[in-house]
Amino acid sequence: MRWLGVKWRSSILFRVISTTFILSLILISLVGSILFIQISNGIFREKTNESVSEAQSLYDYAQGQLDATLYLQSLKLSVVVKRILQASDLTVATTPREVVLIGSPVLHAANGAFNGASGNVEIKSIPQTLRVAVRKTGLAQWIRGDITFTDGSRKSAIIVGHAVEIPPQSPYELYYVFLLTEQQTIVDFIGRLLLFAGFLLIFMIGGISWYVIRQAINPVRDAAEIAEQLTAGDLNRRMHVTGQDEMARLAISFNEMAVSMQQQISRLENLSRLQQRFVSDVSHELRTPLTTIRMASEVIAENKGKMDPAAARSAELLQSQIARFETLLTDLLEVSRFDASASILELKETDIKSLVIQTIDQLHIGNMGQIRTDFSEGSVIAMVDPRRIERVLRNLISNAIDHSEGSTIDITIRQTEREVAVGVRDYGIGFTERESERLFDRFWRADPSRSRLRGGTGLGLSIALDDAKLHQGALKAWGAPGKGANFVLTVPIAPGIPIQGEPIPVDPNDVPSTSFLNFDEDDI
Partner 1 sequence: MTLIMVVDDDQDLAEMLGIVLTGSGFEVDLVNSGDQVMNIFDNHQPDLVLLDVMLPGLSGIEVCTLIREKSMVPIVMLTAKGDSYDVVKGLEAGADDYMVKPFNPSELVARIKVRLRRSGTESSTTLRICDITIDQVAHTIIRNGKTIPLTRLEFDLLVALAKEPGRVFTRDALLSEVWGYQQAADTRLVNVHVQRLRAKIEEDVDNPQVVLTVRGVGYKAGASQT
Residue (82 or 348) nearer to partner 1, CB: 348
> At closest approach, how far in Å is the CB of 345 from partner 1?
12
d(Cα 243, Cα 219) in Å, to the nearest integer?
12
Angle, CA 384 vertex, CA 382 and CA 387 arms, to 5°? 130
Shortest distance in whole angstroms from residue 311 CB to partner 1: 18
Q: What is the CA radius of gyration of the chain?
A: 53
458 within 8 A of 443, measured Cβ to Cβ: yes
CB nearer to partner 1: pick between 223 and 300: 300
Contact 423, 507 (CB under 8 A): no
For residues 181 and 291, which CB has a smaller minimum distance to partner 1 in the complex? 291
Considering the complex, state which of residue 238 and residue 394 has its C-beta at the smaller distance from partner 1.
Answer: 394
- Stretch of 216-224, 236-244, 254-262, 296-304 contacting partner 1, by CB under 8 A: 296-304
Minimum distance, C-beta of residue 402 to partner 1, in the bound complex (Å):
25
Shortest Å distance, C-beta 290 to partner 1 = 4
Nearest-5° Cα angle at 480, 478 to 484: 80
Q: Give the phi and the psi of residue 281 in degrees, each rounded to 5.
A: -65, -45
Among 299, 317, 368, 453, binds partner 1 (CB under 8 A): 299
> Measuring CA to CA, which residue among 391, 459, 387 is closest to residue 451?
459
Q: Which residues of 212-248 are buried (b: 16+ CB within 10 A; e: fewer)?
A: ebeeebebeebbeebeeebeeeebebebeeeeeeebe
Q: Tell me, what DSSP letter sits at residue 104?
A: P
DSSP labels for 193-248? HHHHHHHHHHHHHHHHHHHHHHHHHHHHHHHHHHHHHHHTT-TT--PPP-SSSHHH
Min. distance of Cβ 404 from partner 1 in angstroms? Answer: 28
Which of 38, 266, 288, 320 forms a contact with partner 1 (CB under 8 A)? 288
Q: Would you mind telling me the total number of residues written for the chain in this entry? A: 524
Applying CB under 8 A, the span of 24-32, 171-179, 199-207, 295-303 interacting with partner 1 comes to 295-303
Q: How many residues bind partner 1 (CB under 8 A)?
A: 16
Dihedral angle of Cα 336, 341, 345, 346, to the nearest 10 degrees: -70
| Rounded Cα gap, residues 273 and 285, in angstroms | 18
Q: Does 295 bind partner 1 (CB under 8 A)?
A: yes
Cβ distance to partner 1 smaller for residue 41 or 288: 288
Q: Which stretch binds partner 1 (CB under 8 A): 42-50, 114-122, 288-296, 504-512?
A: 288-296
Which range, of 25-33, 180-188, 280-288, 439-447, touches partner 1 by CB under 8 A? 280-288
Among 252, 268, 296, 317, binds partner 1 (CB under 8 A): 296
User: What minimum distance in Å lies between the beta carbon of 337 and partner 1?
Assistant: 9
Of positions 152, 243, 289, 305, contacts partner 1 by CB under 8 A: 289
Burial 398-436 (b: 16+ CB within 10 A, else e): bbbbbbbeeeebbbbbbbeeebbbbbbbbbbbbbeeebb
Looking at beta carbons only, is 52 or 286 nearer to partner 1? 286
From the list 129-137, 238-246, 284-292, 376-384, the region that binds partner 1 by CB under 8 A is 284-292
- Cβ 55 vs Cβ 160: under 8 Å: yes
Smallest gap from residue 523 Cβ to partner 1 (A): 28
Query: Is residue 272 involved in binding partner 1 (CB under 8 A)?
Result: no
Shortest distance, position 444 Cβ to partner 1, whole Å: 27
Taking the least distance from each CB to partner 1, the nearer of 201 and 286 is 286
**Residue among 35, 176, 10 nearest 93 (CA):** 176
Is there binding between residue 284 and partner 1 (CB under 8 A)? yes
Greatest alpha-carbon span in the chain: 178
| Residue 296 or 524 having the CB closest to partner 1 | 296
Under 8 Å between Cβ of 13 and 220: no
Q: Please tell me the distance from the alpha carbon of residue 321 to that of residue 231, in angstroms, as a whole number.
A: 49
Does 209 sit near partner 1 (CB under 8 A)?
no
Q: Which of 41, 120, 270, 292 binds partner 1 (CB under 8 A)?
A: 292
Site for partner 1 in 308-337 (CB under 8 A): 326
The alpha carbon of residue 214 and the mean position of all alpha carbons in its chain are separated, in whole angstroms, by 21
Instruction: Using DSSP, state whether 10 is helix, strand or coil.
Output: helix
Neighbours of 2 (CB within 10 A): 6
Q: Is 445 in the site for partner 1 (CB under 8 A)?
A: no
CB of 302 to partner 1, least distance (A): 8
Long-range contact pairs involving 512-515 (C-beta distance under 8 Å, separation at least 24): 514/478, 514/479, 514/480, 515/432, 515/433, 515/436, 515/478, 515/479, 515/480
User: Of 191-199, 237-245, 291-299, 475-483, which segment contacts partner 1 by CB under 8 A?
Assistant: 291-299
- Closest to partner 1 by CB, 343 vs 462, is 343
User: CB under 8 A: which stretch of 25-33, 266-274, 289-297, 448-456 binds partner 1?
Assistant: 289-297
Among 11, 283, 327, 370, binds partner 1 (CB under 8 A): 283
Question: Please, what is the minimum distance in Å from the beta carbon of residue 360 to partner 1?
Answer: 17
Q: 297 or 398: whose CB is closer to partner 1?
A: 297
Alpha-carbon dihedral sign for residues 360, 363, 364, 368 = negative
**Contact positions vs partner 1 (CB under 8 A):** 280, 283-284, 287-296, 298-299, 326
